[in-house]
Amino acid sequence: MTAHVLLIEDEPNIAEAIRFILMRDGLKVSTHSSGADAIEAVRSTQPDLLILDLMLPGMSGFDILSALRADPQTEDLPVLMLTAKGQVRDRAAAERAGVDAFMSKPFSNTEMLASVRALVPR
């Protein structure tokens, strides 16, 4: 069974690049671009891994992550958080919210694949 990754990223070029990298590696990838209904997107797609941008329109990645961790259906979902802001305080806040891994933009294809492979069940 192919692992399913849900990517919530509002920058189309970044979303397409990540989607391409992961699909080429044999993963099923769904994309979503809004924070406002991101939680519903997670619930409806039931991914094996969530890649979540920190800054999204409608709801922040931190708020989405907190809501997912508070829900028994999604509390154990592996989450890789992406951000253009790589400051220590962002990483600390993401860790407090329950993120599994954190990646700063820009990132390399190799770095993305290594992080996803470490988090997604194969």
- Give the closest residue to 107 by CA, choosing from 7, 21, 5: 21
Query: At 103, which CATH number?
Result: 3.40.50.2300
Per-residue pLDDT tens over the stretch 51-67: 999 999 999 999 999 99
On the question of pLDDT at 86 being above 80, the answer is: no
Per DSSP, the three-state class of 122 is coil
Q: What is the residue range of 23's domain?
A: 4-119
* Residue 77: both structure tokens together: 């979902």
Please report which residue ranges of the chain form alpha helices under DSSP H: 12-24, 38-45, 61-70, 88-97, 109-119
**pTM, two decimal places:** 0.95
